[in-house]
Amino acid sequence: MEVSELGLNELARQAQMTKSNVYRYFENREALLLALLEDETSQWANALGARVAAMPHATAAQIAHAFAGACAAYPLMCRLFSVLPSIIEHNVSSERLAAFKLNAVALMGDMAAQLHRSAPWLSLAASATFLRQMMALMIGLWPLSSPSVALAPVLALPELAPLRYDFQADLATGLSLILQGLAAAGSQAGATR
């Protein structure tokens, strides 16, 4: 189901609430989607944290595959993040957005510290940069790898194979390249000291 199909009636039905009860807790549909995104992100972070903690002295490839696999396991989170800047953030109060962004910064700080512990070759600052880039890549790759019903058969044409995206595989490739770049930049900075 696409995010655009998640009207307040459908969201209320899935939450087993009446529409009037939904309005008691959320200012609009986008505020409810933001709360849903926070919940999904929290679950994702816990699952990813367990994966990363189980990889002492992780390599770039291991980190890339762990992050890509964790993202792929939470498709609703990816879908909601893909519309966060273009839809959700345009229809939620500034106060609510500030709370969401402050929570995101805290979560990213915790994740960067955990990533740095598992991959000490990646500085804390580079770990934070990696997380920012991961989010941007995930937001862009999700819609590209989830074509519409009308586009899917078009992309199935053999001559359009270069335009097909595989979310998990392409995310892992992109994250691996980012990590390699960050590691190279870190080693160059260390060499010039």
* Residue range 1-18: mean pLDDT, rounded: 65
Check whether domain 28-191 has CATH 3.20.20.70, yes or no:
no
3-state secondary structure of 148: coil
Rounded to whole angstroms, the maximal C-alpha distance in the chain is 63
Is the pLDDT assigned to residue 39 strictly greater than 60? yes
Is the pLDDT assigned to residue 1 strictly greater than 60? no
Please give the backbone phi and psi of residue 2, each rounded to the nearest 5 degrees, phi first. -80, 155
Question: What is the residue-wise DSSP string for 43-99?
Answer: HHHHHHHHHHHT-TT--HHHHHHHHHHHHHT-HHHHHHHHHTTTTGGGSS-HHHHHH
pLDDT in tens, 113-165: 999 999 999 999 999 999 999 999 999 999 999 998 999 999 999 999 999 99
Q: What is the pLDDT of residue 73?
A: 97
